[in-house]
Amino acid sequence: MTEYGLQPSYVKLDYSTPFGNHSHTIPTLQWLPTSIMGNMGSYVAWDTVPIDAEAMIDSLVALLKPEIGSDSSYDLASIYNFDVGSGKFRPEAFKALAVAGTGSTASPRKAVSQTINMRTVGGSTFKIVHLDHSLGASEFDKIPPLGFGGAALAIVTEVTLTSNAWSGRDNTRPNGIISATFDLNDALRRQYRMV
């Protein structure tokens, strides 16, 4: 495993908003081709118990959907595994999704990013970023852990469970919440021709 890389495996979750197509790239422990219930293989979780990859992904997507607007959706889940022989990641498993968002569509949200900042057991950062996220009442203020709402806390709980296989880029388990931050994404502003 390469420290601070995506090795050995990662999940890519593609989602779309009225403004563009985006994705989350989330490292995992080593992917295994053997499925338990679904069709996407499995992992040996942090607690050393096998977990079905499809079930783990579905559980996270169900908790992520309140963070995107009701006119947005999660469209595809893909698992990539590092092939030592070629030195490249190979796509291993896919699942088409049709999971509509349940979050707010209130403005401003075009090119607004929300970052849920966490810390791994090894002390590195672990982030989940939502693009075209409705800003709401936060007014770009940093939200401390005690200010987290139920949806964000559920995401943190899910990715930190020892019974899952989500990983930080330092190859240790996501462990603790730091903050949520908001920003206008300059790259998206250019892409959307807002500047």
Cβ-contact 184, 112 below 8 angstroms: yes
Mean of pLDDT values over 132-157: 91
CA distances from 144 to 124, 130, 153 (A): 18, 17, 12
Which residues touch 127 (CB under 8 Å, ≥6 apart)?
Answer: 115, 116, 117, 118
pLDDT band at 137 (very low <50, low <70, confident <90, very high): confident
pLDDT band at 2 (very low <50, low <70, confident <90, very high): low
Grouping H, G, I as helix, E, B as strand and the rest as coil, residue 44 is: strand
**pLDDT tens for each residue of 71-94:** 999 999 999 999 999 999 999 999
**pLDDT tens for each residue of 13-23:** 999 999 999 99
Does residue 4 carry a pLDDT above 90? no
Sign of torsion, CA 34 46 163 119?
negative
* 71 phi-psi bin (left φ>0, alpha ψ -120 to 50, beta other): alpha
pLDDT band at 119 (very low <50, low <70, confident <90, very high): very high
Mean of pLDDT values over 89-114: 96
Helix axes 53-64, 150-160, angle to 10 degrees: 160
| pTM for this predicted structure | 0.95
Does residue 176 carry a pLDDT above 50? yes
Does residue 1 carry a pLDDT above 60? no
Query: What is the percent of the chain where pLDDT is above 70?
Result: 98
* CA–CA distance, 140 with 145 (Å, rounded to integer): 15
Cis peptide before 145 (omega within 30 of 0): no
